[in-house]
Structure 1
């Protein structure tokens, strides 16, 4: 047994005993509404500067059910979608992640061609454009409080806006599983000293939110906090183990958990010494 594995095995009882009994989902994501009426350009800096332990940016919408998380007054509100100088539709963090998606009839290119998209937090093909929304003359996007329909607006117009927060941290550095564990635990919040970081555990209800982050990774698989130790599969934060598909006695080299971009959303296992990106989360 490698020294690093032996030391982790010795720490296992401490890790589990210090965790909250019956720990379930650790993933947090929500939207918050800011009632100040400002141009689109000012909303981005406000959302990003309001971060504490969470990643914060202008709102990205991943799926229709996210609309139920958006509490708005009867008005339009800015979201993170805009058209950049290359005449592409993009999301506000300006990352170079693109998707070619066909527009439905009446949507911003009016069926003329496929546009290229990118998102501020995670990747999504979500779109819910208002009828006859052509977007030929306006470069920023709002969402309506009634119907949650998207519409293009002049970026200088003044609207309230929606920000999004989550507590997941995707680290785009290639490390072994143990190196990833140590890296997460060495992270700290510049705002709250009691915040701690850990390799993420994943419950079934977390899959959609977690996979949005995994798809941003530079590697096809991303480390999670699953480890086979002392004859058992465990989450290193002591979270509930609810998966029944994991082998009861895996090969020695297949003892660590990953989340795959092309997987089913369930955690998979692989060689702990391989190097890949990893996913941490923050908690009190």
Structure 2
């Protein structure tokens, strides 16, 4: 007789299925300047295209690859405000600069003896990538920061991010064990003055070699280039001979105060479902839209399944990726008496909390 599948192994198998999360892109083959293209996208869709990660980049390239045009507008625009970002798109919650840093106008970052220094991006350094299965990967090759970023994206996931002091200490030990020269090492932190048209927090960039170069001095808007890689370039915003890509917003914050069950019914009647958050990428999307909420927390499609003592998503997925606030996420002893559901905080670190389903909150529907 066949042995039953061990439940923990089943959970691991289900959680190993990666979630594909992309924006819905629409190529518009009409020639407009950037402001006109932005207005068109906001009237017909959500906004000019935003890109969060390499999966989005692949989908964006697919949407325009049949277009025999040199440049295509997307939503990235230069501002006067410089901000620090992680190459991977992780939010910047932690910084560990050495004394008197960051100094000057340098836009990339190295780690040296556990502390950070900003350096010119054209310097060559060894670097650390992040890989989903292997974790940290030390690359003992001298490259510029952008070449290191490209190497990590092609061979792993991205340059390493550091989210807190504990991760910083782990990375310092990892580097010391492998970097016999003791030289400084590139990490994924950079700064720039670019902002997405829809005010997304995405820090993902896919610049072509040598870009952005501000070659025209007023090159404050971004196009997809015509080369095989479809890398991005900065160009003047008033160029009127450029088609563009819009994107649809697949997550919608509903500013009605409903119980969890009422919110679930609303989403299934008017959209697809309450949102399930099964990846860092989806959590970032939630963080981008939840700031529109009028309540301190917002319902997710997360419910406690008492009979098996675990949390599940309403679409049937296991809770593989987790972002619980401290003290949340465990199954309460009285969960059968007080049905608990999951919500995301609309402020602070926007972590998840457990609440009685009778609470009346805003909620996020999805069209995925």
Normalising by structure 2, what TM-score? 0.49
CA 119–34 in structure 1, closer or farther in 2 if over 3 Å, else same: closer
What corresponds to 1:59 in structure 2? 49
5+ unaligned residues in a row in structure 1: which ranges?
1-23, 91-98, 108-112, 188-195
Question: 1:89, CA displacement in angstroms?
Answer: 8.2
What corresponds to 1:76 in structure 2? 71
Please give the root-mean-square deviation of Cα atoms over the aligned residues, in Å.
4.2
CA 168–132 in structure 1, closer or farther in 2 if over 3 Å, else same: closer
| Contact 2:20–2:55, Cα closer than 8 Å, also in 1 | no
Normalising by structure 1, what TM-score? 0.61
Q: Which has the higher contact order (CA 8 A, sep 6+)?
A: 1
1:97-246 to 2 correspondences below 5 Å: 103-104=107-108, 115=193, 117-120=195-198, 122-130=200-208, 131=210, 133-135=212-214, 136-146=217-227, 147-157=229-239, 158-171=241-254, 177-178=260-261, 180-181=263-264, 184=267, 187=270, 196-202=271-277, 204=278, 207-218=280-291, 221-228=297-304, 231=307, 233=311, 235-236=313-314, 239-243=315-319
CA 186–132 in structure 1, closer or farther in 2 if over 3 Å, else same: closer
Question: 1:226, CA displacement in angstroms?
Answer: 2.1
Question: Higher Cα Rg: structure 1 or 2?
Answer: 2
CA 118–222 in structure 1, closer or farther in 2 if over 3 Å, else same: farther
CA 180–119 in structure 1, closer or farther in 2 if over 3 Å, else same: farther
- Does 1:258 find its partner at 2:343? yes
